[in-house]
């Protein structure tokens, strides 16, 4: 590869990138937009679930039970009703997600030490939130039962017997269980794949559509010189986007960076290389900007979004889909950056993921050069 011709192609591509200032501005704004959208809108934490109550008992005991929900950050008592009609209306209209129906014999049963059943109705149209909300309702019910047992033992002059097994839970790496700490690192993979699908997937196709590819073919430029020269400007843009995502993640959401930033940029380089040459390969193959861009969106961005473990846990997917996720390079990249961000570990533990990313980058570079050679020689 002749370095002089390589620099000439890279310079030409830099001039085109800065000339098309709208695409450049969008490429630099994408990480900001995605971080704001995903960081604020995509929140998997359960807080302030709208709740309505029908207290048929209306006793101090039932009010003490309701107070546990009022004091919980997970529930927000929106209204008190006296029939099922308005409860159903709120659930149907989305104004409430959980409804508590306390029976009229709640207080007598509690005072007599008998079992009492409280009806809990949840809006199952949002299955994940409903499942979490029901779990918290059960926890509050157990807390109320334990408080009653302790009070009864004190009244009888005894003492509360300790449970045979006491569980003390502790979450490592993300002790507050904040969804932003999981989402923000994954956005880096989304950003890099968007850059590839938006920019490099149209570079060579644009040359064919504008008629300048024939001029390039008539020059002494070889395939590798054109391929690597065209990728250089977008590598610089990709690094800038990674830096923006890291800075905004820490500044806006306080996402910690426990690992080595140098390792983060190293693995980002591997993934960025593969993503850029993947987009370039599509551009070389399709020869049409719109088709190449749509193919990059379908084959690159959507699998990164849905099959990488960014939002949906791979372990919860059906077995055939889990096998399919092994072909998505973003799966290994997201595992790496979350390990670097949250666990502070490096390649000494996650070396296999880095090797797979390097293999993906090597394959994309080789295929892109092969496809370009077929068209230049």
Q: pLDDT of 161-208, one tens digit each?
A: 555 555 666 777 777 777 778 888 888 888 888 877 777 777 766 766
Contacts of 199 (CB under 8 A, 6+ apart): 23, 27, 234, 237, 279
Q: Is residue 99, in this structure, part of any structural domain at all?
A: yes
Q: Is residue 169, in this structure, part of any structural domain at all?
A: no
Share of the chain above pLDDT 90, in %: 17
Two tokens, residue 268:
């980002």
Contacts of 141 (CB under 8 A, 6+ apart): 118
**Same domain, yes or no, for 239 and 150?**
no
Q: Is residue 164, in this structure, part of any structural domain at all?
A: no
Q: Quick: pLDDT tens for 290-302.
A: 777 778 878 888 8
How high is the pLDDT of residue 293? 75
How high is the pLDDT of residue 377? 47
How high is the pLDDT of residue 376? 46
At 329, the pLDDT band (50, 70, 90 cuts) reads very high
Q: Is residue 162, in this structure, part of any structural domain at all?
A: no
| Statement: residue 137 has pLDDT above 60 | yes
Q: Is residue 167, in this structure, part of any structural domain at all?
A: no
In SS3 terms, the chain reads as CCHHHHHHHHHHHHHHHHHCHHHHHHHHHHHHHHHHHHHHHCCCCCCCEEEEEEECCCCHHHHHHHHHHHCCCCEEEEEECCCHHHHHHHHHHCCCCEEEEECCCHHHHHHHCCCCCCEEEECCCCHHHHHHHHHHHHHHHHHHHHHHHHHHHHHCCCCCCCCCCCCCCCCCCCCCCCHHHHHHHHHHHHHHHHHHHHCHHHHHHHHHHHCCHHHHHCCCCCHHHHHHHHHHHHHHHHHHHHHHHHHHHHHHHCCCCCCCHHHHHHHHHHHHHHHHHHHHHHHHHHCCHHHHHHHHHHHHHHHHHHCCCCCCCHHHCCHHHHHHHCCCHHHHHHHHHHHHHHHCCCHHHHHHHHHHHHHHHHHHHHHHHHHHHHHHC
Q: Is residue 170, in this structure, part of any structural domain at all?
A: no
Contacts of 182 (CB under 8 A, 6+ apart): 44, 174, 338, 342
**Same domain, yes or no, for 233 and 145?**
no
**Same domain, yes or no, for 245 and 358?**
yes
Q: Is residue 160, in this structure, part of any structural domain at all?
A: no
| Domain's final residue, options 123, 155, 187 | 155
**Same domain, yes or no, for 241 and 349?**
yes
**Same domain, yes or no, for 200 and 136?**
no
| Domain's final residue, options 122, 155, 188 | 155
Quote the CA–CA distance of 279 and 281 in Å, as a whole number: 5
**Same domain, yes or no, for 294 and 204?**
yes
In SS3 terms, 292-348 reads as HHHHHHHHHHHHHHHCCCCCCCHHHCCHHHHHHHCCCHHHHHHHHHHHHHHHCCCHH
**Same domain, yes or no, for 367 and 304?**
yes
| Domain's final residue, options 100, 124, 155 | 155
**Same domain, yes or no, for 113 and 59?**
yes
- CATH code for the domain in which residue 118 is found: 3.40.1710.10
| Statement: residue 29 has pLDDT above 90 | no
Share of the chain above pLDDT 70, in %: 88
* Residue tagged 């644009």 (tokens): 206
For residue 87, CA distances in Å to 69, 98, 99, 101, 126 come to 17, 9, 7, 10, 17
Q: Quick: pLDDT tens for 222-280.
A: 777 777 887 888 888 888 888 888 888 888 888 888 888 889 999 999 999 998 888 88
**Same domain, yes or no, for 129 and 7?**
no
**Same domain, yes or no, for 200 and 277?**
yes
* 210-234: burial string, b at 16+ Cβ within 10 Å, e else: eeebeeeeeeebbbbbbbbbbbbbb
Q: Is residue 172, in this structure, part of any structural domain at all?
A: no
The total number of structural domains in the chain stands at: 2
**pTM score over 0.85:** no
**Same domain, yes or no, for 243 and 99?**
no
- CA-CA-CA-CA dihedral for 73, 79, 82, 88, to nearest 10: -90
Contacts of 137 (CB under 8 A, 6+ apart): 98, 100, 120
At 333, the pLDDT band (50, 70, 90 cuts) reads very high
**Same domain, yes or no, for 208 and 324?**
yes
Find the domain containing 144 and state its range: 49-155
How high is the pLDDT of residue 4? 76
Two tokens, residue 141:
């019910």
């Amino acid at each position: 590869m002749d370095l002089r011709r390589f620099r000439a192609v890279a310079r030409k591509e830099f001039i085109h990138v800065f000339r098309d200032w709208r695409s450049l501005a969008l490429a630099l704004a994408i990480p900001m937009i995605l971080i704001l959208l995903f960081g604020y809108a995509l929140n998997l934490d359960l807080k302030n679930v709208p709740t309505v109550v029908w207290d048929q008992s209306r006793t101090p005991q039932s009010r003490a039970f309701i107070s546990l929900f009022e004091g919980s950050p997970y529930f927000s008592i929106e209204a008190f009703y006296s029939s099922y009609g308005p409860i159903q209306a709120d659930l149907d209209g989305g104004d409430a997600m959980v409804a508590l129906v306390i029976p009229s014999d709640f207080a007598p049963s509690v005072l007599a030490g008998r079992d009492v059943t409280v009806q809990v109705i949840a809006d199952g149209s949002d299955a994940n939130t409903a499942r979490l909300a029901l779990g918290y309702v059960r926890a509050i019910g157990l807390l109320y039962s334990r408080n009653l047992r302790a009070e009864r033992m004190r009244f009888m002059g005894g003492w509360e017997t300790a449970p045979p097994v006491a569980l003390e839970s502790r979450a490592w790496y993300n002790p507050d269980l904040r969804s932003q700490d999981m989402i923000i690192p994954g956005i880096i993979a989304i950003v890099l794949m968007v850059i590839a699908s938006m920019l490099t997937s149209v570079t060579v196709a644009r040359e064919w559509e504008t008629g300048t590819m024939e001029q390039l073919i008539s020059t002494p430029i070889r395939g590798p010189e054109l391929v690597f020269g065209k990728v250089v400007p977008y590598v610089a843009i990709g690094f800038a986007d990674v830096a923006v995502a890291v800075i905004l993640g820490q500044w806006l959401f306080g996402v910690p960076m426990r690992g080595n930033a140098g390792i983060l940029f190293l693995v980002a380089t591997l993934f960025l290389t593969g993503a850029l040459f993947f987009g370039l390969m599509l551009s070389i193959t399709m020869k049409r900007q719109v088709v190449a861009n749509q193919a990059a969106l379908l084959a690159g961005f959507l699998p990164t979004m849905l099959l990488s473990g960014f939002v949906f846990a791979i372990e919860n997917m059906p077995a055939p889909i889990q096998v399919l996720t092994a072909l998505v390079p973003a799966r290994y990249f997201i595992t790496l950056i979350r390990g670097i961000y949250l666990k502070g570990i490096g390649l000494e533990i996650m070396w296999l993921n880095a090797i797979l990313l390097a293999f993906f980058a090597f394959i994309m570079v080789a295929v892109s050069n092969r496809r370009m050679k077929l068209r230049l020689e």
